[in-house]
Structure 1
Amino acid sequence: MFGSKEAFLKLPEEQRKQILFLNSSSTQAVYDAFNHKDILCGDDGWGNTPFSAGCFESVEKFCIQEYSDLNTWLLQHNVSLLAKVLLLPVFASVDEPAVLTVWQIVVEFASELFSGDNIVVADVNAHWCLYYHHDGIITFAHTPALATG
Protein backbone atom coordinates (compact mmCIF):
# COMPACT_ATOMS: atom_id res chain seq x y z
CA MET A 1 0.00 0.00 0.00
CA PHE A 2 1.14 3.51 -0.82
CA GLY A 3 3.87 2.21 -3.12
CA SER A 4 7.49 1.63 -2.29
CA LYS A 5 9.26 3.18 0.67
CA GLU A 6 10.84 5.69 -1.71
CA ALA A 7 7.45 6.62 -3.19
CA PHE A 8 5.96 6.99 0.29
CA LEU A 9 8.78 9.32 1.37
CA LYS A 10 8.03 11.54 -1.64
CA LEU A 11 4.49 12.17 -0.41
CA PRO A 12 3.84 15.56 1.20
CA GLU A 13 4.69 15.51 4.89
CA GLU A 14 1.08 16.32 5.83
CA GLN A 15 -0.08 13.10 4.12
CA ARG A 16 2.73 11.00 5.60
CA LYS A 17 1.74 12.19 9.08
CA GLN A 18 -1.74 10.74 8.51
CA ILE A 19 -0.50 7.28 7.49
CA LEU A 20 0.82 4.99 10.21
CA PHE A 21 2.10 1.54 9.25
CA LEU A 22 1.53 -0.72 12.24
CA ASN A 23 4.34 -2.94 13.47
CA SER A 24 3.93 -6.71 13.20
CA SER A 25 2.55 -7.25 16.72
CA SER A 26 0.03 -4.41 16.33
CA THR A 27 -0.97 -5.70 12.90
CA GLN A 28 -1.53 -9.17 14.34
CA ALA A 29 -3.57 -7.72 17.22
CA VAL A 30 -5.81 -5.84 14.77
CA TYR A 31 -6.38 -8.92 12.61
CA ASP A 32 -7.06 -11.03 15.72
CA ALA A 33 -9.60 -8.49 17.03
CA PHE A 34 -11.39 -8.23 13.70
CA ASN A 35 -11.44 -11.99 13.26
CA HIS A 36 -12.80 -12.41 16.80
CA LYS A 37 -15.51 -9.84 16.06
CA ASP A 38 -16.14 -11.57 12.71
CA ILE A 39 -16.19 -8.20 10.99
CA LEU A 40 -17.00 -9.71 7.57
CA CYS A 41 -19.75 -11.88 9.12
CA GLY A 42 -21.09 -14.37 6.64
CA ASP A 43 -18.37 -13.99 4.01
CA ASP A 44 -17.39 -17.06 2.02
CA GLY A 45 -13.68 -16.46 2.69
CA TRP A 46 -13.04 -15.07 -0.79
CA GLY A 47 -14.81 -11.74 -0.42
CA ASN A 48 -17.87 -12.64 -2.45
CA THR A 49 -20.43 -12.28 0.35
CA PRO A 50 -19.13 -9.83 2.98
CA PHE A 51 -21.56 -8.78 5.72
CA SER A 52 -24.22 -11.25 4.53
CA ALA A 53 -25.03 -12.75 7.95
CA GLY A 54 -26.89 -9.73 9.31
CA CYS A 55 -24.22 -8.33 11.62
CA PHE A 56 -24.81 -4.81 10.30
CA GLU A 57 -28.12 -2.97 10.03
CA SER A 58 -27.19 -1.43 6.70
CA VAL A 59 -25.25 -3.02 3.84
CA GLU A 60 -24.87 -1.33 0.46
CA LYS A 61 -23.00 -2.63 -2.56
CA PHE A 62 -21.98 -0.85 -5.74
CA CYS A 63 -19.45 -1.05 -8.54
CA ILE A 64 -16.87 1.68 -8.72
CA GLN A 65 -17.48 4.00 -11.66
CA GLU A 66 -15.35 6.91 -10.48
CA TYR A 67 -13.23 6.98 -7.35
CA SER A 68 -14.77 10.35 -6.50
CA ASP A 69 -17.99 8.38 -5.86
CA LEU A 70 -16.40 7.19 -2.61
CA ASN A 71 -16.05 10.75 -1.34
CA THR A 72 -19.64 11.54 -2.33
CA TRP A 73 -20.96 8.41 -0.63
CA LEU A 74 -19.09 9.14 2.61
CA LEU A 75 -20.35 12.72 2.71
CA GLN A 76 -23.95 11.64 1.98
CA HIS A 77 -23.73 9.26 4.95
CA ASN A 78 -22.25 11.89 7.29
CA VAL A 79 -18.94 10.08 7.64
CA SER A 80 -16.20 12.45 8.72
CA LEU A 81 -13.24 12.37 6.37
CA LEU A 82 -11.06 12.89 9.44
CA ALA A 83 -12.34 9.74 11.17
CA LYS A 84 -9.59 7.20 11.80
CA VAL A 85 -9.74 3.94 9.89
CA LEU A 86 -7.72 0.76 9.60
CA LEU A 87 -6.66 -0.61 6.23
CA LEU A 88 -6.45 -4.39 6.27
CA PRO A 89 -5.29 -6.21 3.15
CA VAL A 90 -7.35 -9.40 2.95
CA PHE A 91 -4.90 -11.70 1.21
CA ALA A 92 -1.73 -9.89 2.30
CA SER A 93 1.58 -11.55 2.86
CA VAL A 94 2.48 -12.14 6.48
CA ASP A 95 4.87 -9.19 6.55
CA GLU A 96 2.47 -6.60 5.08
CA PRO A 97 1.37 -4.23 7.85
CA ALA A 98 -2.07 -2.95 8.62
CA VAL A 99 -2.33 0.83 8.30
CA LEU A 100 -3.98 3.39 10.56
CA THR A 101 -5.08 6.48 8.65
CA VAL A 102 -8.16 8.66 8.01
CA TRP A 103 -10.95 8.40 5.42
CA GLN A 104 -9.52 11.46 3.61
CA ILE A 105 -6.34 9.51 2.80
CA VAL A 106 -8.43 6.55 1.62
CA VAL A 107 -10.33 8.90 -0.71
CA GLU A 108 -7.14 10.55 -2.00
CA PHE A 109 -5.46 7.19 -2.69
CA ALA A 110 -8.57 5.23 -3.72
CA SER A 111 -7.29 4.55 -7.23
CA GLU A 112 -4.17 2.92 -5.77
CA LEU A 113 -5.76 1.19 -2.78
CA PHE A 114 -8.65 -0.20 -4.82
CA SER A 115 -6.77 -1.41 -7.85
CA GLY A 116 -5.32 -4.66 -6.64
CA ASP A 117 -6.41 -7.30 -4.21
CA ASN A 118 -9.26 -7.25 -1.72
CA ILE A 119 -8.97 -4.81 1.17
CA VAL A 120 -11.01 -3.95 4.26
CA VAL A 121 -11.31 -0.38 5.51
CA ALA A 122 -12.94 -0.15 8.93
CA ASP A 123 -13.29 2.62 11.43
CA VAL A 124 -11.48 1.90 14.65
CA ASN A 125 -14.75 1.05 16.45
CA ALA A 126 -15.94 -1.23 13.62
CA HIS A 127 -19.15 0.79 13.21
CA TRP A 128 -18.35 1.41 9.55
CA CYS A 129 -16.69 -1.03 7.24
CA LEU A 130 -15.86 -0.98 3.55
CA TYR A 131 -14.90 -4.11 1.67
CA TYR A 132 -13.23 -3.67 -1.70
CA HIS A 133 -13.41 -6.75 -3.92
CA HIS A 134 -10.83 -7.01 -6.70
CA ASP A 135 -13.64 -7.09 -9.29
CA GLY A 136 -14.28 -3.40 -8.55
CA ILE A 137 -17.15 -3.95 -6.15
CA ILE A 138 -17.35 -1.98 -2.93
CA THR A 139 -19.59 -3.12 -0.10
CA PHE A 140 -20.29 -0.70 2.76
CA ALA A 141 -21.67 -1.88 6.06
CA HIS A 142 -22.52 0.31 9.01
CA THR A 143 -24.33 0.32 12.30
CA PRO A 144 -23.61 -3.06 13.89
CA ALA A 145 -26.74 -5.01 14.74
CA LEU A 146 -27.08 -5.07 18.52
CA ALA A 147 -27.74 -8.79 18.68
CA THR A 148 -24.46 -9.67 16.97
CA GLY A 149 -22.26 -6.53 16.97
Structure 2
Amino acid sequence: VKNERHGLEIVMPRTKVPEWFDYRCKEGIPCLWVRGEFPINVALALAFQYADGKESMDFGELHLVINGQRVPHKGYYSFDIEEDHFFVCDLRPLYNDEEWISIDALLLKHEWNQVQISYEIKDYSSVEDFTLREWGVFVYKQGTVNWEEHVQFTCPTKDPMKMT
Protein backbone atom coordinates (compact mmCIF):
# COMPACT_ATOMS: atom_id res chain seq x y z
CA VAL A 1 0.00 0.00 0.00
CA LYS A 2 2.70 2.46 1.00
CA ASN A 3 4.37 1.88 -2.37
CA GLU A 4 1.00 2.64 -4.01
CA ARG A 5 0.61 -0.76 -5.60
CA HIS A 6 -2.96 -0.96 -6.90
CA GLY A 7 -5.31 -3.94 -6.86
CA LEU A 8 -4.29 -5.27 -3.44
CA GLU A 9 -6.49 -7.80 -1.64
CA ILE A 10 -4.44 -9.42 1.10
CA VAL A 11 -4.54 -10.68 4.67
CA MET A 12 -1.52 -9.65 6.72
CA PRO A 13 -0.20 -10.65 10.14
CA ARG A 14 -0.45 -7.46 12.17
CA THR A 15 -2.46 -6.25 15.13
CA LYS A 16 -2.79 -2.56 14.25
CA VAL A 17 -3.33 -0.45 11.15
CA PRO A 18 0.00 1.17 10.20
CA GLU A 19 0.48 4.75 11.42
CA TRP A 20 1.27 5.99 7.90
CA PHE A 21 -2.31 5.39 6.75
CA ASP A 22 -4.01 8.75 6.11
CA TYR A 23 -6.74 8.03 8.63
CA ARG A 24 -7.15 5.43 11.37
CA CYS A 25 -10.11 4.90 13.66
CA LYS A 26 -10.98 2.48 16.47
CA GLU A 27 -14.76 2.78 16.30
CA GLY A 28 -17.64 2.83 13.86
CA ILE A 29 -17.61 1.55 10.32
CA PRO A 30 -15.23 2.83 7.66
CA CYS A 31 -16.49 6.17 6.38
CA LEU A 32 -15.15 9.07 4.35
CA TRP A 33 -16.59 12.10 2.62
CA VAL A 34 -15.81 12.78 -1.04
CA ARG A 35 -16.74 15.41 -3.58
CA GLY A 36 -15.89 15.90 -7.20
CA GLU A 37 -14.00 12.99 -8.66
CA PHE A 38 -14.87 9.49 -7.52
CA PRO A 39 -13.85 6.73 -7.39
CA ILE A 40 -10.75 7.96 -5.72
CA ASN A 41 -7.89 5.55 -5.38
CA VAL A 42 -7.95 4.36 -1.79
CA ALA A 43 -6.95 1.28 0.16
CA LEU A 44 -8.82 0.07 3.21
CA ALA A 45 -7.51 -1.87 6.22
CA LEU A 46 -9.83 -3.77 8.59
CA ALA A 47 -8.71 -5.36 11.86
CA PHE A 48 -11.22 -7.53 13.74
CA GLN A 49 -11.45 -8.74 17.31
CA TYR A 50 -12.91 -12.18 17.99
CA ALA A 51 -14.97 -13.63 20.80
CA ASP A 52 -13.28 -16.08 23.16
CA GLY A 53 -12.47 -19.36 21.49
CA LYS A 54 -12.69 -18.03 17.93
CA GLU A 55 -9.47 -18.22 15.97
CA SER A 56 -10.49 -17.19 12.48
CA MET A 57 -13.41 -16.06 10.37
CA ASP A 58 -14.52 -16.34 6.78
CA PHE A 59 -14.71 -12.78 5.50
CA GLY A 60 -17.39 -12.40 2.85
CA GLU A 61 -18.14 -9.13 1.12
CA LEU A 62 -17.44 -5.42 1.14
CA HIS A 63 -20.02 -2.94 -0.14
CA LEU A 64 -20.02 0.78 -0.68
CA VAL A 65 -22.88 2.74 0.85
CA ILE A 66 -23.12 6.16 -0.78
CA ASN A 67 -25.33 8.78 0.84
CA GLY A 68 -27.18 5.97 2.62
CA GLN A 69 -27.75 3.84 -0.50
CA ARG A 70 -26.02 0.43 -0.65
CA VAL A 71 -24.32 -0.17 -3.98
CA PRO A 72 -24.58 -3.84 -5.05
CA HIS A 73 -21.84 -5.52 -7.05
CA LYS A 74 -21.30 -8.84 -8.77
CA GLY A 75 -18.03 -9.72 -7.06
CA TYR A 76 -17.58 -11.87 -3.98
CA TYR A 77 -14.65 -12.19 -1.59
CA SER A 78 -13.84 -15.02 0.73
CA PHE A 79 -10.80 -14.71 2.98
CA ASP A 80 -9.94 -16.60 6.11
CA ILE A 81 -8.76 -13.96 8.59
CA GLU A 82 -7.02 -15.21 11.71
CA GLU A 83 -6.72 -13.31 14.96
CA ASP A 84 -3.90 -10.74 14.98
CA HIS A 85 -4.24 -10.31 11.22
CA PHE A 86 -5.97 -7.68 9.17
CA PHE A 87 -7.46 -7.42 5.71
CA VAL A 88 -6.12 -4.80 3.28
CA CYS A 89 -7.70 -4.07 -0.07
CA ASP A 90 -7.83 -1.48 -2.81
CA LEU A 91 -11.43 -0.31 -3.33
CA ARG A 92 -11.16 -0.15 -7.15
CA PRO A 93 -11.40 -3.95 -7.76
CA LEU A 94 -14.64 -4.19 -5.74
CA TYR A 95 -16.59 -3.07 -8.80
CA ASN A 96 -16.10 -3.50 -12.53
CA ASP A 97 -15.86 -0.49 -14.88
CA GLU A 98 -19.58 -0.60 -15.72
CA GLU A 99 -20.49 -0.67 -12.02
CA TRP A 100 -18.22 2.33 -11.30
CA ILE A 101 -20.11 4.29 -13.98
CA SER A 102 -23.41 3.58 -12.20
CA ILE A 103 -21.81 4.59 -8.88
CA ASP A 104 -20.82 7.91 -10.40
CA ALA A 105 -24.51 8.58 -11.13
CA LEU A 106 -25.31 8.32 -7.39
CA LEU A 107 -23.00 11.16 -6.45
CA LEU A 108 -24.01 14.73 -5.80
CA LYS A 109 -21.59 16.42 -8.21
CA HIS A 110 -20.63 19.59 -6.34
CA GLU A 111 -21.46 18.54 -2.81
CA TRP A 112 -19.99 16.25 -0.18
CA ASN A 113 -20.99 12.59 -0.46
CA GLN A 114 -20.81 10.21 2.47
CA VAL A 115 -19.11 6.94 1.48
CA GLN A 116 -19.27 4.10 4.00
CA ILE A 117 -17.78 0.68 3.55
CA SER A 118 -19.95 -2.09 4.98
CA TYR A 119 -18.80 -5.67 5.41
CA GLU A 120 -20.30 -9.12 5.84
CA ILE A 121 -18.78 -12.02 7.71
CA LYS A 122 -19.89 -15.39 6.38
CA ASP A 123 -19.25 -17.98 9.10
CA TYR A 124 -20.51 -16.32 12.28
CA SER A 125 -23.95 -17.01 13.68
CA SER A 126 -23.95 -13.96 15.90
CA VAL A 127 -22.77 -10.39 15.52
CA GLU A 128 -21.32 -10.61 19.04
CA ASP A 129 -18.74 -13.13 17.78
CA PHE A 130 -16.62 -10.40 16.22
CA THR A 131 -16.14 -6.64 16.24
CA LEU A 132 -14.25 -4.27 14.01
CA ARG A 133 -11.36 -3.32 16.29
CA GLU A 134 -9.70 -0.77 14.01
CA TRP A 135 -9.88 0.45 10.43
CA GLY A 136 -7.84 2.75 8.25
CA VAL A 137 -7.92 4.47 4.88
CA PHE A 138 -4.90 5.23 2.70
CA VAL A 139 -5.31 7.57 -0.28
CA TYR A 140 -3.01 6.78 -3.19
CA LYS A 141 -1.23 10.07 -3.93
CA GLN A 142 0.08 9.25 -7.39
CA GLY A 143 -2.45 10.36 -10.00
CA THR A 144 -4.69 12.05 -7.41
CA VAL A 145 -4.55 15.84 -7.69
CA ASN A 146 -5.31 17.90 -4.55
CA TRP A 147 -6.89 14.95 -2.79
CA GLU A 148 -7.14 16.89 0.47
CA GLU A 149 -9.72 19.19 -1.18
CA HIS A 150 -11.89 16.25 -2.23
CA VAL A 151 -11.60 13.79 0.67
CA GLN A 152 -12.45 14.30 4.34
CA PHE A 153 -12.56 11.74 7.12
CA THR A 154 -14.98 13.68 9.32
CA CYS A 155 -18.23 15.30 8.24
CA PRO A 156 -17.26 18.51 6.39
CA THR A 157 -20.65 20.16 7.06
CA LYS A 158 -22.23 21.26 10.31
CA ASP A 159 -25.41 19.31 9.57
CA PRO A 160 -24.52 15.78 8.35
CA MET A 161 -27.99 15.40 6.83
CA LYS A 162 -27.46 18.52 4.71
CA MET A 163 -24.45 17.74 2.57
CA THR A 164 -23.83 21.14 0.94
> What's the TM-score, normalizing by structure 1?
0.30
Normalized per residue, which structure has more strand?
Answer: 2
Structure showing greater relative contact order (alpha-carbon pairs closer than 8 Å, 6 or more residues apart)? 2
Q: Looking at CA atoms only, which structure, 1 or 2, has the larger radius of gyration?
A: 2
> What's the TM-score, normalizing by structure 2?
0.28
Normalized per residue, which structure has more helix?
Answer: 1
